[in-house]
Amino acid sequence: MSDLIVAIDGPGGTGKSSVSRELARRAGLPHLDTGAFYRAATLAALEAGVDLDDGDAVTTVVEGSDFSQEEGRMYLDGRDVSDPIREDEITKGVSAVSAHPAVRAHLVELQRSWLRSHEGRGVVEGRDIGSVVFPDATVKVYLDASPEVRARRRAEQSGEDIAEVLEDLNRRDHLDSTRVASPMTVPRGAIVVDTSELDFEAVVEQLIGLLPSES
């Protein structure tokens, strides 16, 4: 079997996670959610009681922790943290943690080694996959949607107030796309899919159509 990497980047609220999972399932490929690594790193730093803006302290915690992901579950030092990493406190702190270059370098290596241990095949979603983690990915997709649509989708999922969600999305977009280390960007060679007017099935179908026929 040859290598097959599908890189899916884009901001939150575009349906990136559910679309990536479904695409992986239909294509028979393993799936990696890289955002979960940054979330687990944030949890580790909070539990260690370090200041999230202190790059050296956060890096020491991250380098001393064990991160892994299998079958859609995220593990920190062998503990399943899939649920706690979705808490508000983590979502609020994660952009600070993910801005530290040494944290990124460490987690990117783990993401690359995950792919090697899955025979070089997988659907990998995040914010720097096609640009930094796997610049030679077989297929690169950048999912986008208008801020209002993204906020509405998030609010429908979580039951939160739409204006609050919009504010949080805008704040994280700004931090993620203006940071010095690997800012979120449309990777070179990526196909941009605007999901604002598309339903879930239409997006999945469009992405399936981009896969090479052997898969």
| Residues within the interface to ligand C5P (CB under 6 A) | 12, 34-35, 38-39, 94-95, 98, 126-128, 172, 176
CB of 14 to ligand C5P, least distance (A): 10
Integer Cα distance of 182 and 126 in angstroms? 12
67 contacts 108 by C-beta, under 8 angstroms: no
What's the token pair of residue 90? 């983590």
- The residue (of 27 and 97) whose beta carbon lies closer to ligand C5P is 97
- The residue (of 98 and 195) whose beta carbon lies closer to ligand C5P is 98
- The residue (of 22 and 176) whose beta carbon lies closer to ligand C5P is 176
141 contacts 160 by C-beta, under 8 angstroms: no
- The residue (of 156 and 212) whose beta carbon lies closer to ligand C5P is 156
Distance of CA 92 to the CA centre of its chain: 15
Apex CA 168: angle with CA 62 and CA 57, to 5°?
Answer: 20
What's the token pair of residue 51? 């200041």
CB of 63 to ligand C5P, least distance (A): 17
- The residue (of 10 and 207) whose beta carbon lies closer to ligand C5P is 10
DSSP string, 136-155: T-SEEEEEE--HHHHHHHHH
- The residue (of 68 and 209) whose beta carbon lies closer to ligand C5P is 68
CB of 108 to ligand C5P, least distance (A): 8
Distances in Å between the Cα of 36 and the Cα atoms of 70, 116, 126 are 11, 19, 9
Please classify residue 139 by burial: count the beta carbons closer than 10 Å to its beta carbon, then call 0-12 exposed, 13-18 middle and 19+ buried. buried
